[in-house]
A and B are shown apart, each in its own frame.
Chain A
Amino acid sequence: MTASGRTTPWLLSAPALALFAALLLTPLAMTFLLSFNSFSFYGGIENTFGPENYIEVLSDLYFYEIFGRTFLIAFITTAICAVLGLPEAYILFRMKPAWRSFMLLVVLGPLLISVVVRTLGWAILLGNKGVINEFLRDIGLITSPIRMMYTSTGIVVALVHVMIPFMILAVWAALQRQDPATERAAESLGAAPLTVFMRIVLPQAMPGVLSGSLIVFSLSASAFATPAVLGGRRIKVVSTTVYDEFLNTLNWPLGAAIAMLLLVSVLTIMIAWNKLVERRYSGVFE
């Protein structure tokens, strides 16, 4: 290969690489460096270098609770998205073409609306004087409102709404790759509809569910708008904690350390998950 032949691909990807470096790697590197600086209430950020912030986070149970809550919320959101999204994608997949494109639009439509707007919508529904509580009280089912705002449950509900299109898209892609004749083959061999779904469709859709889970989990774990609006001060997750450290306490180095820990833990979980999936399905799917 000639020298120019070797450099051409690099030249062609240079603009994208430059953008990538400028907008992602640089801030990331700076955040990383920032997380080793120290902060004092009177002196502000000092340009020292040491692991104090990490030690502070890792030795304080308060932060463990926040991380634990974040991952629990992300995990439950992912599980609900998988359980709801898989049948939903399958039903969509089996619809008549005209209906299908319409319903797909309905499912993906929410993606066109800002997360903040959608979350505020949930706040209107879930509040103590919100639509749901007012309704339940009016029909006499409850006397005092059920608390749904500022709870993990509320956050999960809203996150599922935000995230489920991603799951459906991922499962949809997997369903589309599968040969529709496999279902008929199973049927001709005597399988009842539920058996066909459980034994033939589900296993073939599994790679889609798993990659969808990866997307939903990482987006949920780092989601900001939804927990910020629906969790408020009371139910803190990692991203809102970072936000508070930066903008309220002004302890940027500590915020940076928490952000780095979030990044590393999400990455670790994702890579482990991916490895698991690859090992499980290596013989079966390309």
Chain B
Amino acid sequence: MMDQPAFNHGQTMAFLELQALNKRYNAVVAVEDFNLSIQRGEFVSLLGPSGCGKTTTLQMIAGFTQPTSGSIMLNGRDLGAIPARKRGLGIVFQTYALFPHMTVEQNVGFGLEMRNVPSHERRRRVSDALDLVHLSHLGDRFPRHMSGGQRQRVALARALVIEPELLLLDEPLSNLDAKLREEMQLELRRIQQEAGVTTLLVTHDQSEAMALSDRVAVMQSGRLIQEDSPFDVYEKPATSFISTFLGKTNSLPALLERAGKRTQIVIDDVRLAGPQTVLANGPVELSLRPERIELTDIDKATLSGDVIERVFLGDHWLFRVETPIGKLLVMQRNLGRRGAEIGERLHLFWEPEAMRLLPRGDVS
């Protein structure tokens, strides 16, 4: 990382620093040797399948769960011995956890009340926070008279009004329907940038993680397996697990061979020109994104095959094509023409560099 803040007692330390974090529940290892640094103002997503330890990690930062070992440093101070209520973090829970017996204003003002902020200043800050989430007109509603998206925004305002050093979000959008979720993604990003607050989001939704964050940290069975920009995690997944978890991909076992400087991919008895790679010859996992496969003429085709399935998704078509190397998922932009019929022969082309080679089967 290049852009580290210069202060912090002369050390070069990130804003939030998780070091060798471990959490064990008896025999269950929930989080294992977890290291992550987040810069001030950054929006980082913790992405992974259900049960991989995302919530546990978040709860340890929040102070609701004690780590078995490891340390959590926020802005140079060790959070280990500080109880949750003194950490001053803004947390949005998956269920929003609004106080049902308080109005929206009382909900948002609760944190300020706990900090003994005088009432006139409290009113001003509550109304600023409600402005930020576009809810100023609903200040005296009770939560149960509000929609899911509105509740979500109240929860966000309540977490932000205390001007937390760090905002923690545990699957904040998972209770919303698809359309609202998309709207709230943009909204969340705007609010986070306006407030300029360092944010850690937990999600199992890869599109959410990619849409919102500066950096994505992918977890699998309690471990951090890759952290990168959304583009790089998608384009350069470190393992075949990540390539299948993020977006759609064709994942095929293959054999890597080299002829001089050039690489070759062998699948069954098909040989294809391969991409540049540092992997050694031998068995590899090949990952080819459906959107990188183009339809072309027979003379330019890398491979050809028959359509065995097709799905129309509005902005694009998804075909499953039976080729000599196996069934391939092919995506094609909808250009206003009818897509290929089932049984029709398609000629497929892709650049060798579109194929990503990953070590076989060690993690998955």
Contacts and interface: CB of A to CB of B under 8 A. Distances in A.
A90 B99 CA distance: 18
Q: How large is the interface on A (under 10, 10 to 19, 20 to 34, 35 or more residues)?
A: 20 to 34
Interface in A187-222: 187-192, 195, 199-200, 203-204, 206
Among A184, A186, A189, chain B packs the most CB atoms within 10 A around the CB of A189
B35 interface: no
B101 A185 contact: no
Interface in B204-249: none
A185 B91 contact: yes
B77 interface: no
Interface string B86-120: 11111101110111110000000011001100000
A284 B110 contact: no
A189 B97 contact: no
B97 A284 contact: no
Nearest to A180: B97
Contacts of B284: none
B103 to A, nearest CB: 9
Contacts of B89: 188
A204 B94 CA distance: 19
A184 B84 contact: yes
B93 A285 contact: no
Contact of B114 (A181, A191, A281): A191
Interface string B304-337: 0000000000000000000000000000000000
A109 interface: no
A186 B110 contact: yes
Nearest to B103: A283
A254 B33 CA distance: 81
Contact of A182 (B90, B99, B162): B99
Given A181-B93, A283-B142, A188 B84 contact: yes
Q: How large is the interface on B (under 10, 10 to 19, 20 to 34, 35 or more residues)?
A: 20 to 34
Nearest to B91: A188
A204 B63 CA distance: 24
Contacts of B338: none
A186 B84 contact: no
A200 B85 contact: no
A284 B101 contact: yes
A132 B210 CA distance: 71
Contacts of A185: 91, 93, 97-99, 158
Given A181-B95, A190-B111, A195-B114, A203 B101 contact: yes
B24 interface: no
Among A184, A185, A199, A283, chain B packs the most CB atoms within 10 A around the CB of A185
Contact of B97 (A179, A190, A195, A206): A179
Given A181-B97, A190-B85, A285-B100, 6 more contacts: A179-B97, A181-B94, A182-B98, A186-B99, A284-B142, A285-B101
